Amino acid sequence: MPIVTDEGFQADDWARAGETLSWRAGMIVPLDVAGCALDAIGDKGTIGIEIASGEEIDQALSYGPRVDLIAVRFEKFADGRFFSLGRRLRDAGFTGRLRAVGPLLPDQYAFARSCGFDEAEISGAHAAKKTEPQWRTAAESIGVSYQSGYSHAAQKTILEMRRAARRGTSAPFPSDDQLAVWEEVMAALDLPGRLSFFRSRIEGRIVFTTGFGLEDQAVVHAILTEGLDIDLVTLDTGRLFPETYDVWAATEKRYGVRITAIYPDQDELAALVAHQGINGFYESVEARKACCQARKVEPLNRALFGSAGWVTGIRADQSKNRNAMRFIEADRARGVVKSNPLLDWSRSETEAYAAEQGIVLNPLHEKGFASIGCAPCTRAIEPGEHERAGRWWWEEENKKECGLHTS
């Protein structure tokens, strides 16, 4: 089968165990027989090992420098977990060749390269679907790595690009065609994979704005456990539930981080309250939107100022407006590329992920508060009500948004 490298298609210089009757150096063997193979060749050379899950990493690394290649089998290109195995192997100190094996697409090969892989092994039939120049172009298209040592020396790391962004430099805004390609790739990945891919494609600072609800806590967990260079920011409106502040503190304690708080402009907020009263937002939709503008929208614009990317915890089934959104889209009004990595998740899927990962959640969720915002504007929902029915419940259902996710 052909080997894809940055130079194009290459002949495989490694043999497969099934192609010979005896063990020898320069052969890729299944992990469960690696010990036997090494015993058979003695000190005559090194072997390659094939793995298919994160649980096998420690055993593969236990053979030390006698393993010169690790092949990670991708059973299907839609499973983004395998990309993170490359990062884990590099983080654990593996310096040999990393090979991705399976039905990768050219753009995913480029992403795999940024995760620490050196090459890909694909079937002849799969290689025939894309020309060799297309694979080379994809290899050249990746312009960012997670950390130094994962890419060519001429390529900048995320940290270097972030520093450049803070000096006032910026990359061109991606075209609609680029966004469409990225959308297709992101749709095939899991949550960590989507966040990692978005980080790899955006030059400059990326911000995730959290309100500490179910979805946001899932995204925060994925960002921090993957070690991604994405800033965590929250908009403290001054009217949050006490429970929300408790979750904020518990999240910082668990992950050992500080989440940056952005507050309303003091003068603007004072003028708002002087005009409409402390709870004037109940009087009309216009008054409520004016409150959201002062307490949320204007602070968000400051939070995103100078950033290149914005991550949200939006799900498509939360409202009609959100159902029209995409995994990755242009927010040209704010000058950022926006990513919605949970877009196709259901609430039950998000709850299952949170339970599996042991994520800290707001106790108000257990009291019927499906969607949690400012305390005066949020109530528990009744059985059968839509999960966002408790937000601004005194208004009509048609497109109830605060202005953060509307253009």
Homologous superfamily in CATH for domain 176-377: HUPs (3.40.50.620)
Residue 257 parent element (H or E): none
User: Where in the chain do CATH 3.20.20.70 domains reside?
Assistant: 3-142
Tell me the β-bridge partners of 311: 208, 339
* Domain spanning 3-142, CATH class: alpha beta
Residue 168 clears pLDDT 50, i.e. is over it: no
Instruction: Render the burial of 38-70: b for 16+ CB within 10 Å, e for the rest.
Output: beebeeeebbbbbbbeeebbeebbebeeebbbb
Q: What is the pLDDT of residues 300-355, one digit of tens each?
A: 999 998 899 999 999 998 877 677 899 999 998 888 999 999 999 999 999 999 99
Residue 166's pLDDT band (cuts 50, 70, 90): very low
User: How far is residue 209 CA from its own chain's centroid?
Assistant: 14
What amino acid is encoded at 124 in this protein?
G
Q: What is the pLDDT of residues 228-273, one digit of tens each?
A: 999 999 999 999 999 999 999 999 999 999 999 999 999 899 999 9
> What crossing angle do the helices spanning 242-255 and 214-226 adopt, rounded to 10°?
10
pLDDT confidence of residue 122: 83
> What crossing angle do the helices spanning 176-187 and 191-201 adopt, rounded to 10°?
160
Contacts of 181 (CB under 8 A, 6+ apart): 107
pLDDT confidence of residue 92: 84
The residues carrying an active-site annotation are: 402
DSSP-derived pairing of the beta strands 328-331 and 231-235 = unpaired
Q: What is the pLDDT of residues 29-70, one digit of tens each?
A: 999 889 999 998 888 889 999 998 766 888 889 998 899 999
Handedness of CA 382, 388, 390, 394 (dihedral sign): negative
Residue 403's pLDDT band (cuts 50, 70, 90): very low
User: Where in the chain do CATH 3.40.50.620 domains reside?
Assistant: 176-377
Higher-confidence residue: 403 or 53? 53
Max Cα-Cα span within the chain: 86
